[in-house]
Structure 1
Amino acid sequence: MDKKFGIKHVVAMGIGTALFVVLTNVQIPVGFIPNTALQTRAAVLAFFSAIFGPVVGGAIGLIGHALGDAVFYGSVWWSWVFPDAVFGIIVGLFAAKYKVKEGSFGGKEIGLFNIVQVVANALAWILVAPVLDIVIYAEPVNKVFTQGVAAFVANVIIIGILGTLLLVAYSKVGAKSGSLSKED
């Protein structure tokens, strides 16, 4: 994790949030569980969190999800906004250990990233989202825990595949090109 928070983090927040919002409607419904889908935006959140750390990840999860809900659905479902922020923060806490910026995102780091994303998804979607659904919206317990488990599984799959591929590609190309760095 970067010790300094600078302009590249602000830019990353802006780009990540914009991508997260735009990708809100890019989803494949799980089908048998309402309001639950495979969403590419989860991989984008994991990608930015793994590169730029917990502040950027938390901000993208919170702002991106809230704006996406407001723009595409007309209202914000806060019990699902906060879990994305929690996920971004947890994945981002280990950003330095993934070694993506150094161009060393390989076997051990890929394994660590996927272990962290599974744990972060479990906390966010099997614990935080259902509890907030019950507390904030008085939703039925069975419904929200079923949705939470489905969201957990969907996110683990999409992040495990697409998130990992994005990080591998960035580690090999983007990290070495000096993207988002100060010009001389």
Structure 2
Amino acid sequence: MDKKFGIKEVVAMGIGTALFVVLTNVQIPVFFVPNTSLQPRMAVLAFFAAVFGPIVGGVVGLLGHALGDALFYGGVWWSWVFPEGVVGIAVGFFAAKYAVKEGGFNTKSCILFNVIQVVANAVAWIVVAPVLDILVYSEPANKVFAQGAVAFVCNIVIIGILGSILLTVYSKVAGKSSDLKAED
């Protein structure tokens, strides 16, 4: 885990959160389970977490989801906000291993990123979200576990495809720009 935290990370939190909120209404509904959809904002969350680490990932997930819910839906569904933070923190915890900023996001890094995002999404959507739905909102177990399972699958697909593409492209650009040296 990268121990440095500075202005770049603060700016990344702001930009990542803003993008996450803006993308809240960009969704492809999954019609067989209510209130569940493919959401490109999850790729944005995974991208910022993988590049800037767990604090940025956690803030983008928590704040982005909470603000998106409040602005577009008039209320915050907290049992689905916290799982976003779980995904952001878990993916971000391994940011140094992905070597995105250094231009080292290769096949091995991509596989690691995707294994971690699958595990993080499993914990977040198959465990955390349904359990919180039941405990906080007294939702029926069969409904929330079905929603969680579908959200899990949707998120791993979106992050696996779009997140991997974003990280690959960014890593190529970041790796080239890191060769720049200040002139005397």
Q: Is the 8 A contact 2:90 2:120 kept in 1?
A: yes
Deviation at 1:4, TM superposition (A): 1.6
Whole-Å separation in 1 of the counterparts to 2:85 and 2:16: 13
Residue-by-residue CA offset, 1:76-130 (whole Å, 9 max, x unaligned): 0000000000110000000000011110101110000000000000000000000
Whole-Å separation in 1 of the counterparts to 2:98 and 2:2: 13
**Residue 55 (str. 1) matches residue 81 (str. 2):** no
Match of 2:4 in 1: 4
Query: What pairs with 1:1-184 in structure 2 (closer than 5 Å)?
Result: 1-177=1-177
Unaligned runs of 5+ in 1: 179-183
Q: Could you tell me which amino acid in structure 2 is paired with residue 143 of structure 1? A: K
Whole-Å separation in 1 of the counterparts to 2:36 and 2:156: 13
Whole-Å separation in 2 of the counterparts to 1:3 and 1:70: 32
Residue-by-residue CA offset, 1:118-174 (whole Å, 9 max, x unaligned): 000000000000000000000000000000000000000000000000000000013
Q: Is the 8 A contact 2:104 2:175 kept in 1?
A: no
Q: Is the 8 A contact 2:100 2:174 kept in 1?
A: no
Whole-Å separation in 1 of the counterparts to 2:165 and 2:97: 17
Deviation at 1:3, TM superposition (A): 1.1
Deviation at 1:7, TM superposition (A): 0.4
What count of residue pairs does the alignment treat as equivalent? 179
Whole-Å separation in 1 of the counterparts to 2:68 and 2:39: 12
Q: Is the 8 A contact 2:126 2:149 kept in 1?
A: yes
Q: Is the 8 A contact 2:37 2:154 kept in 1?
A: yes
Whole-Å separation in 1 of the counterparts to 2:14 and 2:67: 12
TM-score by length of 1: 0.95
RMSD between aligned residues: 1.1
Whole-Å separation in 1 of the counterparts to 2:138 and 2:175: 45
Deviation at 1:176, TM superposition (A): 3.2
> Equivalent residue of 1:127, what SS?
helix
Q: Could you tell me which amino acid in structure 2 is paired with residue 169 of structure 1? A: V
Which segments of structure 1 move beyond 2 Å, counting only runs of 4 or more? Answer: 174-178
